[in-house]
Amino acid sequence: MTELIEILFTVGLWASVLRIATPLIFGTLGALLCERAGVLNLGIEGIMTFGAMIGWLTVFFTGDLWSGVIAAAVCGALFGLLHAVLTVNLGLSQHVTGLGITLFAASFSYYIFRLAVPVQGSPPTVEAFENYPIPFLSDVPILGPTLFTQTPLTYLAIACVVILAWVMARTPLGLAIRITGENPHAAEAQGLDPIRIRIGCIMVGSALMAVGGSFLTLAAFNSFFPTMVQGRGWVCIALVVFSMWMPLRALLGALLFALFDAYQLRLQTVVGKAVPYQLFLMLPYVLSIVALVLMSRRARVPQALMKPYRRGER
Amino acid sequence: MNSPAPSSPVLSLVGISKRFGPVVANEDVSISLAKGEVLALLGENGAGKTTLMNILFGHYMPDSGSVTVKDTCLTMGRPRDAINAGVGMVHQHFTLAPNLTVLENIMTGTEPLFALRARTGAARAKLATLCKRFGLAANPDARVSDLSVGEQQRVEILKALYNDAEILILDEPTAVLTRPEAEKLFQVLRTMAAQGLSIIFISHKLNEVMESADRVVVLRGGRVTAERATSATDKDELAALMVGRRVERPKRGDALRGPTVVEARGVDVTVKSIKVLQDIDFSLHRGEVLGIIGVSGNGQTVLAHLLSGLAHPGAGTLTVLGAPLGRATPSHLIAKGIGRIPEDRNTEGAVGDFTLWQNAVLERLGDSRFSRWGFVRSRPARAFCDKIIARFDVRGGTPDTATRNLSGGNMQKLIFGRNLLDGPAILIAAQPTRGLDEGAIAAVHSEILAARSKGCAVLLISEDLDETLALADRIQAIVKGRLSPPVASTGLDARRLGLMMAGEWDGLHAV
Amino acid sequence: MRFERRATRPPLLTIGAPILALLFALIVAGGLIALSGAPVFEAYRRIFIGAFGSQLAITETLTRATPLILTGLAAAVAFRAKVWNIGAEGQFYLGALAVAAFGSVVPGVIAIPALMIVGALAGVILLVIPVLLRLRFGVDEVVTTLLLNFIVVLFVSLAIEGFLRDPLAFGWPQSIPVPPEARLDKLVAKSRLHTGLIVAVVVAVLVWAIHRFTVFGLQSAAAGANPKAAEFAGVPITKTLFKVACLSGGLAGLAGAIEVMGVKGHVSTALSPGFGYTGIVVAMLANLSALGVIFAALFVAAMFVGADGMSRALDVPSFIADVTTSLALLAMLVALFFTQYRIAR
């Protein structure tokens, strides 16, 4: 029994929490941005897959890690543009379009990957991001090896949280985005263009999702294989509800989620064969559902979420 | 023609035309506005007033024509241009985000988007100055959803003023206000005009136009039919100009009041733990129209829902046709012979994608005429629909047309038809003429009166004084979820009724 | 660019929409095939031959289409009432697993119908949970049904490595086999095509009849198209959506049951190559029409079966089938939009 608690006091656990959380942070921020502007983006799962694939492929051919991240962001934004044209300009069902984009982006990733890298015995690998200990801070006991010894992408994720939180709460742009998600007619009456704002948010949001995907192949692992995103995108959609559409709470949600995930991984080694490992693997998904149910009552959903906006139509 | 056009206009619209598909909304409309002037744009529903103002503000692109503000020609279809030129608009359906604060609503879009920080302090100060200057109180940190309708309208006005509007357009500003609130609003508008702002307000109410405007432009069928200084005209002339061919609204004959069919004593209704109706008393008799008058948002929606099976009584007793109502569903009530005209045709009255016959029988699927063993009997249903189309003069479709294609008036006739064809004992009509043109209003009124003379008990819920006075035998006002005692409509005037709607019930003669 | 609603839907365009969408998808996919260096027309010829070129090919295509008809119906039934059941994959697996679990319990004579019902019930239970969560707590069922898919697949993995493990499978994680009397008969000898196809087609016709002729069909469509008007008209929304959930979940569960009884004979985590998700594509290509689902399922199945053969011959990744069908879905959405709207000047 004490072993179960001891796990909580290992540095390894806490270091891995941030690592597990990183793709979730990117994905949740991306989905949150889209939803704040009033558009549900269920393309997330596919966009993360594509980001993972194109990021890896770029690094495989160029050897430059940051080129991979940028390629993922650009492709993510393009998929975002496709989602935006269909749901914002045409006003199609956000549910069906998002799923369509997920199916398309995922299968397109697999196709491109297979074209570029024919089947081999073991999947080829790249030099992934190394941990980058932040000078001085990483020497702090406990916090140093956990918080400040991570890959640059993790630091980037945290920076994005702070930036997005500031933009949403404190800047004219954030206000414009929020009002677009609450009532696009109000935005239009103030001379803003809700359509452009939505398109912009979906593109930036989708870019974040794709960067989250690229973390999987460029930092967490060093190779790409189909179905590697494993429902992380859907978890992010649940985390957005949990976060009540606030970036800082999204960070909290992602960390909590990652803590459970990291804990269950270690628990498996302790408990061994007594409990089937599948039960542990189910936990994150069960947890997401529970979080959704608990938060559904308190959540203040953006009022215009999933309501298409057409100029001159009420 | 007496048309005192201003010599140096701050605003001029020239030759504006706009069509929506086959419908002409505006044709060659030209209007000008002088500094410090209050101009009324008078016209019936569907005369094209709102479309014209939406073109001016840049919400719609006109097919032709131009808008000039102080010698600069506006780019069409861009609200930002209109705002920058000093045009502010107070929409009839407020363009506010309910979950944001007053200040946030007002500040949106007023600063460069990519500034690193919103200048909240400066905005707060500017807002305070504006409030003081025009005598408009507003709490900048209140959430808009917590405000009353009147307060929300004030926020809309402040939004326009905050953008340094010099020309203010108000679309039916008094539609949602009680009479005292409306009077206060016009006072504020006068102050603004005195300070050099120019104002256009849209209205179809002759009284307020005569009282508050300097000049009036009359629109009919999308064209300007006349322009008058209010000092040089009167209500009768304006009414004639507005309506053109006078559609006679039907007159009410004597009531043949029969036995009581609905009796409410001390009824409370709670929706989402808010008491929406409190301690209401009323009784409804066969062969009479009971009018419930009130400004929208005072509980009349729930009152209609209560008798439509969508809301249920809490405390008190409510008997309908001799039995307590309890938690009756819409189907129960329909089976009992209650007809229901919903407040909002488009969202509640019909499924737009369905055909006419499907909408005609959707609420009557429990009826053995239209279904057997779980199967829809489409042949009798189509016949039922055909009868409605013939008897109630529904135009623009066959039983197999999509209902979305009907005009508002014809959709309302379909809804009346499906309720009245079987001769109901009770008819609940909520805002039955909202948004209809004069011809359709007359048709609806005569249907209501015809039902009454056949012994149907009609509960008319309306916010239109003239309509209620014309149709109802007895009238009760609804204010903040409470009902006034009933008074006889004969001998009642609009002023007295206005006071009732504002909650002044002392000295009413209950009948 | 602005759009305005058409007064009427042009019938030619309405019929042409799916065809245009498919053409678009095939053209874009052609570009992708060219990218791989393979000859495009040869590739399409091989896809066609792979799907329809021989008796074996045709039976394979029909075998593939069988579960897709049912999962496509599951999506169509739900989407008509705007119940976003994205969980057909999970319901499929749970239905299959239920058949494996109860296969040896039910008596042989009634085994086939009884197990079909058992499989359908498993699917029902799985969909009723998220739909109740939506009706009761307002939890978006898209996310819950999606997450349940992962949970169910893990549960299947747990079962076939644990209490349902086949001890004779040489360590392969697969379930105990379905008893022979519960296996569906072959329609064509020496092929995999089984009587499940007939069941699927009959069910599709039944669903079509339900939509077209029954009170429930009209009410569920009303609840989807305009819930407020439906509620005002006295349609019992909760009850109707609950029934929709039962029908949709049942169809997906039935798909899993039939696949196990007709093709594999046992459950493994490779039972479904995404039948549940592909069902959504099928339903959308059919514009949610139950009869249309049969044809859409045939197209999608042909694409997959044909692409397999083409892939082996020309070394084009077989994922081209997934790319084409998902593109067709997106193109279909746009095509349907233009049956309702046109570009305004």
* Cβ pair A103:C142 closer than 8 A: no
Give the model's pLDDT for residue A314.
43
Please state, in angstroms and rounded to a whole number, the distance separating the CA atoms of residues B235 and B223.
20
**Gap between the Cα atoms of B300 and A23, Å rounded:** 51
Contact B358 C215 (CB under 8 A): no
A186–B105 C-beta distance less than 8 A: yes
Contact A104 C3 (CB under 8 A): no
Q: A36, A164, A171, A192: best mutation site toward chain B, by most B Cβ within 10 Å?
A: A171
Which residues fall within 8 angstroms of residue B413, CB to CB, at 6 or more apart? Answer: B388, B392, B393, B394, B440, B443, B444
Summarize pLDDT for A19-33 with one digit per residue, the tens: 999 999 999 999 999
Residue C234 has its nearest CB partner, among B334, B353, B405, at B334
Pick C333's closest partner by Cβ from A86, A108, A286.
A86
* Rounded Cα–Cα distance for residues C154 and C213 (Å): 40
Please give the average per-residue pLDDT across C24-31, as a whole number: 94
- Closest Cα of chain C to B226: distance in Å? 32
Pick the residue of B93, B108, B120, B157 with the most A CBs within 10 A to test the interface with A by mutation.
Answer: B108
> Of the candidates A171, A183, A312, which has its C-beta nearest B97's C-beta?
A183
Collect all residues from C whose CB is shorter than 8 A from any CB in B.
2, 4, 7-8, 213-219, 221-222, 225-226, 228-236
Q: Indicate whether C58 belongs to any domain.
A: no
The structural domain count of chain B equals 2
Pairing of strands A149-150, A132-133: antiparallel
Q: Give every CB contact of residue C37 below 8 A, 6+ residues apart in sequence.
A: none
- Reading the block at residue B51, the tokens are 């479309």
By Cβ distance, the residue of C139, C149, C277 closest to A293 is: C139
Please name the amino acid found at residue B55: I
Cross-strand bridge partners of residue B319: B263, B324
User: Could you write out the three-class secondary structure of C221-268?
Assistant: HHHHHCHHHHHHCCCCHHHHHHHHHHHHHHHHHHHHHHHHHHHHCCCC
Structural domain harbouring C144? 81-279
The pLDDT value recorded for residue C201 is: 96
- Note the pLDDT of residue B434: 83
**How many whole angstroms separate alpha carbon C133 and alpha carbon C136?**
5
B239 & B258 share domain = no
φ, ψ of residue B263 in degrees (nearest 5):
-135, 115
Q: Which of A124-138, A233-247, B142-156, C220-234 has the lowest mean pLDDT?
A: A124-138
- The Cα–Cα gap between B177 and B316 comes to 30
Q: Please answer whether residues C312 and C6 qualify as being in contact, where contact means their C-beta atoms are separated by less than 8 angstroms.
A: no
Q: What is the CA radius of gyration of chain C?
A: 21
Taking the CA of residue B77 and the nearest CA in chain C, the distance in Å comes to 12
User: Does the residue B384 lie in any domain?
Assistant: no
Contacts of B348 in chain C (CB under 8 A): 228-229, 232
Nearest to C71 by CA among C332, C245, C281, C266: C281
Which of C148, C317, C337 lies closest to A90 in CB terms? C337
Say if C73 falls within a structural domain: no
A217 min Cα distance to partner chain B (Å): 33
Comparing A248 with B511, the larger pLDDT belongs to A248
Claim to verify: residue B115 and residue B260 sit in the same structural domain: no
Helix (H) or strand (E) run with residue B13 in it: strand B11-20
**Coil/strand/helix, residue B63:** coil
Contacts of C143 in chain A (CB under 8 A): 234, 237-238, 241, 288, 292
Instruction: Name the one residue in this structure whose structure tokens are 């040089």.
Output: B232
Cβ <8 Å between A191 and B84: yes
Give the neighbours of chain A: at least 3 Cβ pairs within 8 Å.
B, C
Q: Choose the final residue of a domain: B243, B262, B291.
A: B243
Chains touching chain C through at least 3 C-beta pairs below 8 angstroms are A, B
- A313 — pLDDT class (breaks 50, 70, 90): low
What CATH number has the domain bearing residue B21?
Answer: 3.40.50.300
Q: Helix C275-285 and helix A94-116: axis angle, to 10°?
A: 120
Q: Is residue C60 in a domain?
A: no
Distance between first and last Cα of chain B: 49
Residue B28 lies in a domain: yes
pLDDT 10s digits, A78-133: 999 999 999 999 999 999 999 999 999 999 999 999 999 887 767 788 888 888 87
- Which pLDDT does position C334 carry in this prediction? 94
Q: Are residues B99 and B54 in the same domain?
A: yes
Judge whether C44 lies within some domain. Answer: no
Q: What is the rounded distance in angstroms from the CA atom of residue A29 to the CA atom of residue A215?
A: 15
Chain C residues inside the 8 Å CB shell of B350 = 226, 229
B469 within domain boundaries: yes
Burial of A136 by CB count in 10 Å (0-12 exposed, 13-18 middle, 19+ buried)? Answer: exposed
Check if B351 contacts C (Cβ < 8 Å).
yes
Strands B260-271 and B426-430: unpaired
Q: Are residues B219 and B272 in the same domain?
A: no
Phi, psi of B366 (to 5 degrees): -75, -15
In a domain, B138, yes or no: yes
Asked whether residue C245 is assigned to any structural domain, the reply reads yes
Query: How many domains would you assign to chain C?
Result: 1
Interval B448-506: pLDDT, tens: 999 998 889 999 999 888 888 889 999 999 988 899 989 888 888 877 888 888 888 87
Q: Has residue C299 been placed in a domain?
A: no
Q: How far is C2 from chain A (nearest CA, A)?
A: 8
Q: Which residues of C touch B371 (CB under 8 A)?
A: 215
Short-list C277, C92, C127, C141, CA closest to A289: C141
On whether any CB of chain A is under 8 Å from the CB of B273, the answer is no
Which chain B residues are closer than 8 Å to C232 by Cβ?
A: 308, 310, 330, 340, 342, 348-349, 363
Residues of A in contact with C317 (CB under 8 A): 110-111, 114-115
- For residue A226 the two structure tokens come to 């189909």
Instruction: Determine the residue type at A113.
Output: F
> Is pLDDT of C187 > 60?
yes
Strands B223-229 and B64-69, sheet pairing = unpaired
Of C215, C229, C231, the CB nearest to B350: C229
Q: Quickly state the pLDDT bin for C1 (edges 50, 70, 90).
A: low
Separation CA B153–CA B92 (nearest Å): 9
- Give the nearest partner residue to B83 out of A185, A191, A300, using CB atoms: A191
The span from the CA of B13 to the CA of B17, in Å, is 11
Write the DSSP symbol of residue A85: I
Q: Of chain C residues 51-110, which have a CB less than 8 A from chain A? A: 79, 84, 86
What pLDDT was estimated at residue B246? Answer: 60
Quick check: is B167 in a domain? Answer: yes
Under an 8 A CB cutoff, do B351 and C222 touch? yes
| Secondary structure of B313-378 in HEC code, one letter for each residue | CCCCEEEECCEECCCCCHHHHHHHCEEEECCCHHHHHCCCCCEHHHHHHHHHCCCCCCEECCEECH
For B114, the domain range is 11-243
In a domain, C244, yes or no: yes
User: Which residues 122-181 in chain C show a CB within 8 A of chain A?
Assistant: 133, 137-140, 142-144, 146-151, 154-155, 157-158, 161-162
Distance, in Å, from the CA atom of A264 to the CA atom of B496, rounded to the nearest integer, reads: 73
Share of chain A above pLDDT 90, in %: 60
C90-137 pLDDT, tens per residue?
A: 999 999 999 999 988 887 778 889 899 999 999 999 999 999 999 888
Contact C147 A110 (CB under 8 A): no
Name the β-bridge partners of B216.
B40, B228
**What is the C-alpha to C-alpha distance for residues B118 and A196, in angstroms, rounded to an integer?**
20
Given the structure tokens 């992010």, which residue do they identify? A236
My answer on whether B301 and B219 are in the same domain is no
User: Which chain B residues touch C2 with a CB distance below 8 Å?
Assistant: 61
* pLDDT given for residue C292 in this prediction: 93
pLDDT in tens, chain B (511 residues): 344 555 578 998 999 998 877 778 889 999 999 999 999 999 887 788 888 988 998 888 888 998 999 888 888 888 889 999 999 999 888 899 999 999 999 999 888 889 888 899 999 999 999 998 888 888 999 999 888 888 899 999 999 999 999 999 999 888 778 778 888 899 999 999 999 999 999 988 888 888 889 999 999 888 898 899 988 888 888 888 887 766 677 778 777 888 999 999 989 998 888 888 889 999 999 999 999 998 888 888 999 999 998 888 888 888 888 888 888 889 889 988 899 999 888 888 899 889 999 999 999 888 888 989 999 998 999 999 999 998 888 888 888 888 888 878 888 889 999 998 888 999 999 999 887 777 788 888 989 999 998 889 999 999 888 888 889 999 999 988 899 989 888 888 877 888 888 888 877 777 7
Kindly list the residues of chain A whose beta carbon comes within 8 Å of any beta carbon in chain B: 170-176, 178-179, 182-183, 185-192, 300, 302-303, 311-312, 314
- CA-based nearest residue in chain A for residue B110: A190
Residue where a domain stops, chosen among B243, B258, B293: B243
Do B163 and B16 share a domain, yes or no?
yes
Q: Could A179 and B105 be called an inter-chain contact, meaning their C-beta atoms sit closer than 8 Å?
A: yes
Mean pLDDT of chain A: 89
Three-state SS annotation for chain C: CEEEECCCCCHHHHHHHHHHHHHHHHHHHHHHHHHCCCCHHHHHHHHHHHHHCCHHHHHHHHHHHHHHHHHHHHHHHHHHCCCCCCCHHHHHHHHHHHHHHHCCCCCHHHHHHHHHHHHHHHHHHHHHHHHHHHHHHCCCHHHHHHHHHHHHHHHHHHHHHCCCECCCCCCCCCECCCCHHHCCCECCCCCCCECHHHHHHHHHHHHHHHHHHEHHHHHHHHHHHCHHHHHHCCCCHHHHHHHHHHHHHHHHHHHHHHHHHHHHCCCCCCCCCCHHHHHHHHHHHCCCCHHHHHHHHHHHHHHHHHHHHHHHHHCCCCCHHHHHHHHHHHHHHHHHHHHHEEEEC
pLDDT for res A111: 94
> Between chains, do B112 and A190 touch, taking CB under 8 Å as contact?
no
| Cα atoms in the Cβ-side hemisphere of radius 13 Å centred on B30 | 7
Residues of chain B with C-beta less than 8 angstroms from the C-beta of C342: none
Residue B157 sits in the same domain as residue B260: no
Question: Which chains does B contact via 3+ CB–CB distances below 8 A?
Answer: A, C
Do the chains contact at B115 and A171, CB–CB below 8 Å?
yes
Distance CA C254, CA C260 (A): 10
What sign does the CA torsion over B358, B363, B365, B368 have?
Answer: negative
C90: chain A residues, CB-CB within 8 Å: none
Angle formed at CA C205 by CA C127 and CA C181, multiple of 5 degrees? 70
In-domain check, residue C198? yes
